[in-house]
Structure 1
Amino acid sequence: MTASLGTTSLRTLTLALDPATLAELGVSGPAHLLGAASTDDPMCWLRRGQGLLGFGEITTFSARGPERFADAESWWRELLGEARIEDSVRMPGTGPMAFGSFAFSKKSTFNSVLIVPALVVGFADGAAWLTQLSIDGTVPTAESALDLFRETAAGALSPSISSPLSSAASEECSMPSEVSAGTVRSGALTEEQWMQSVSAGVQAIAGGGLEKVVLARDVVATFPEPLQRVSILQRLVDLYDECWTYGVRGLVGATPEILIKVEGSMAQARVLAGTLDREDEPAGSSGFADAVLGGSAKQRQEHDFAVRSLTRQLAPFATDLSFPPEPFILELPNVWHLASDVTAELASSNGHLPSSLALVAALHPTAAVCGTPREDAGELILELEKMDRGPYAGPVGWLDGAGNGEWGIALRGAVLEDAHNVRLYAGAGIVQASDPAAELAETWAKLRPMLQALGLPNHP
């Protein structure tokens, strides 16, 4: 475990942003502000024109291993212990907050991180706000916070809040607006090798004890010209507005699945399992997804495993837990999913509600990204995938000082390994009825959002 700390306590100042100030700077919403900050490496959590953007890093936490969540929670509590907070807005995401990304596996070599930004700009329910944070003795004021916001909106962040990638980003070229000259190659496994792993997974399930295993694969996209991370995020926001577009350092993506969202005493989750490629839809057909996806015993079984997994892990933290008896069809630009929204009233323990990060630790990994039983599925994943998932399928999102937070599962995403190479990931839920070729096709459908954001064709 490593942590970067300043010399004094954390200070935060949150101010409401009035429409006149936004209009003066020409900021129509978070997507516009994301584009204005193209010289920096903004952290991002956006959906339907709402969410949070973070700029700069004033302190960070990183860890690996099975205690990464507990260590992060301890670090965050310690940071909050002596924090000096001024917050006139008092909404989820105001005051002290951090963006985070955690490795899927406790055996991963990837560093899980919490990052406290220097500036946060938030948009929710018609309101907008900004928070300036410091840990070097600087006392945020209304004037300094607004000045920092104006610099950000103008696309010229001050050096004092630049991120480790900002100098590289300033030298990067914009992504091509249409088809890029990039190439795609197999990652850890070729298509044939991965289908063999799927067959091995089916055999393991048929042998008894294992109900479902989620197997992922990676591909690597390489470009002759340097990529610009912000352009990738902009495309994802534009194309996949129904999803949560996330960006934490080199990890980018647009996930349709929420592991847990906490606002006060209420928690919510969106469970996805069961997928149908929208390219398979016949022209002029209505009710296609309901008939093919909703009527599939294999897909319904996979979805049921995922819902039962999440509710079983969430139940000890709740006084009331509810989810619909039947899943609904979630329509996205690339696929349909079977989806179920789970809600819970959180239970208090010793006068305290569990934080969003504590719930993340309890819920991850769900059957939707691992399998059932999850310990057995996790071991088989390490054996069959032949790769380290890193942050793929791990929790990504944010938390604040009041315990609120939104944590998605890092799906439909990629890791920018350097200026020219991007590693993309996608997986499929394997049950006894799975067909390797069909599961391979499903991974290509799930890779489509990132391939589109990179200007690449869906299938090489």
Structure 2
Amino acid sequence: DIRPPPSPEIYGRAVAEAVRRMKRGDFSKVVLARTLELRSSRDLDLPALLQRLARRDPSGYTFAVPSGPGRTLLGASPELLVSRRGGRLVANPLAGSTPRSADLAEDVRRAAALLESAKDLHEHAVVVDAVREALAPYCRTLDVPTRPTLVRTATMWHLSTTVVGEPADPAVSALELACALHPTPAVCGTPTDTARRVIGELEPFDRGAYTGMVGWGDASGDGEWVVTIRCAEAEERTLRLFAGAGVVEQSSPEAETAETGAKFQTFLQAVGVDQ
């Protein structure tokens, strides 16, 4: 049994309202999300679900953590927020996406089109600039490529930039760096405070741990933190899926609704649901 709160129509209207406000000059980007609630007639087999997620996206970051009494947050995130190992830090912001295709020629065409999409390149540049600005005060050196590359998951192509730096203070931990970065425009928007307020007005649900961060850190300050996207919260026989899309002035309700639908496929395919 699948229920979509909010419905695609309500989500589309929220995207249209955000675009209207951006054209008025209120802000430049906001990430709007929606959910799907899946209810099963049987108890959920979380270890088996986690294994399927890991097999489908072996290069991603598969996780399961307690999120409340009787609740588990699990997912397969493609996005590294930041890692630190010794004197090297790495951040890998993703922004700008398009669904994969089962047809090889069409899949290649979509990837090539994403690399040339003015709308997606702008969305990606906003995120990369924010990452550079957040990390620069902590770094002796910071290498930020001028153009993005592509990364793929089982269901999506993403524009990707790998930012590499050397911490100025060897005592700064991966968690401190992650807190300085969060939330990036890839999950919130820009300006951050305005985008967060718009999300509160236009999203009719509480995100909870969705678009937060999950990871690990050790006593020496090394660690790895990823963005909690491509995730769901499990409670008894219910799975609540989350998916969001970056909305900019050039966005359309139809395209962003389709993008969130494609992102749901990570979990829908893992549980064997066709939609």
Aligned to 1:339: 160
Aligned to 1:273: 95
- Does 1:330 pair with 2:151? yes
Task: After TM superposition, give the deviation of residue 191 of structure 1 in Å.
Answer: 1.1
Aligned to 2:227: 409
Aligned to 1:284: 105
**Structure 1 residue aligned with 2:202, among 362, 374, 384?**
384
**Structure 1: stretches of 5+ with no match in the other structure:** 1-182
SS in 1 for 2:92: strand
- Does 1:252 pair with 2:62? no
Higher helix share: 2
Aligned to 1:361: 179
- Does 1:301 pair with 2:122? yes
**Structure 2: stretches of 5+ with no match in the other structure:** 67-71
In structure 2, C-alpha distance between the alignment counterparts of 1:286 and 1:450, rounded to whole Å: 20
**Residue type of the partner of 1:204?**
R
Aligned to 2:140: 319
Aligned to 2:35: 218
Q: Is the 8 A contact 2:100 2:107 kept in 1?
A: no
In the TM superposition, what whole-angstrom CA distance separates every residue of 1:351-397 from its partner, at most 9, and x where no partner exists?
A: x5211111111110001111111111111111111211111110111
In structure 2, C-alpha distance between the alignment counterparts of 1:404 and 1:282, rounded to whole Å: 41
The higher-RCO structure (CA 8 Å, 6+ apart) is 2
* 1:185-196 paired onto structure 2 within 5 Å: 185-187=3-5, 189-196=6-13
In the TM superposition, what whole-angstrom CA distance separates every residue of 1:11-40 from its partner, at most 9, and x where no partner exists?
A: xxxxxxxxxxxxxxxxxxxxxxxxxxxxxx
In the TM superposition, what whole-angstrom CA distance separates every residue of 1:396-436 from its partner, at most 9, and x where no partner exists?
A: 111111111110000100001x2200100000000001010
Q: Is the 8 A contact 1:265 1:353 kept in 2?
A: no
* 1:115-264 paired onto structure 2 within 5 Å: 183-187=1-5, 189-249=6-66, 250-264=72-86
Q: Is the 8 A contact 1:289 1:329 kept in 2?
A: no
**Residue type of the partner of 2:273?**
L
Larger Rg over CA atoms: 1
Q: Is the 8 A contact 2:27 2:195 kept in 1?
A: yes
In the TM superposition, what whole-angstrom CA distance separates every residue of 1:146-181 from its partner, at most 9, and x where no partner exists?
A: xxxxxxxxxxxxxxxxxxxxxxxxxxxxxxxxxxxx
**Residue type of the partner of 1:276?**
T
- Residues 1:283 and 1:421: Cα distance change in structure 2 (over 3 Å): same
Aligned to 1:450: 267
**Residue type of the partner of 1:431?**
V
In the TM superposition, what whole-angstrom CA distance separates every residue of 1:161-208 from its partner, at most 9, and x where no partner exists?
A: xxxxxxxxxxxxxxxxxxxxxx21112x11111111001110111111
SS in 2 for 1:204: helix
TM-score, normalised to structure 2, is 0.95
* 1:364-375 paired onto structure 2 within 5 Å: 364-375=182-193
**Residue type of the partner of 1:448?**
Q
In structure 1, C-alpha distance between the alignment counterparts of 2:125 and 2:76, rounded to whole Å: 24
Q: Is the 8 A contact 1:257 1:409 kept in 2?
A: yes
- Residues 1:290 and 1:225: Cα distance change in structure 2 (over 3 Å): closer
In structure 2, C-alpha distance between the alignment counterparts of 1:375 and 1:285, rounded to whole Å: 39
Task: After TM superposition, give the deviation of residue 264 of structure 1 in Å.
Answer: 1.3
Q: Is the 8 A contact 1:253 1:413 kept in 2?
A: yes
* 1:66-81 paired onto structure 2 within 5 Å: none
Aligned residues: 270
Task: After TM superposition, give the deviation of residue 289 of structure 1 in Å.
Answer: 3.3
**Residue type of the partner of 1:449?**
T
In the TM superposition, what whole-angstrom CA distance separates every residue of 1:43-83 from its partner, at most 9, and x where no partner exists?
A: xxxxxxxxxxxxxxxxxxxxxxxxxxxxxxxxxxxxxxxxx
- Residues 1:401 and 1:225: Cα distance change in structure 2 (over 3 Å): same
In structure 2, C-alpha distance between the alignment counterparts of 1:267 and 1:209, rounded to whole Å: 34
In the TM superposition, what whole-angstrom CA distance separates every residue of 1:266-310 from its partner, at most 9, and x where no partner exists?
A: 11011111111113x755357413431011100111100111111
**Residue type of the partner of 1:205?**
M
In structure 2, C-alpha distance between the alignment counterparts of 1:192 and 1:356, rounded to whole Å: 40
- Residues 1:288 and 1:357: Cα distance change in structure 2 (over 3 Å): same
**Residue type of the partner of 1:226?**
D
In structure 1, C-alpha distance between the alignment counterparts of 2:107 and 2:213, rounded to whole Å: 35
**Residue type of the partner of 2:173?**
S
TM-score, normalised to structure 1, is 0.57
Aligned to 2:241: 424
SS in 1 for 2:93: strand
In structure 2, C-alpha distance between the alignment counterparts of 1:439 and 1:359, rounded to whole Å: 30
SS in 2 for 1:425: strand
In structure 1, C-alpha distance between the alignment counterparts of 2:249 and 2:39, rounded to whole Å: 36
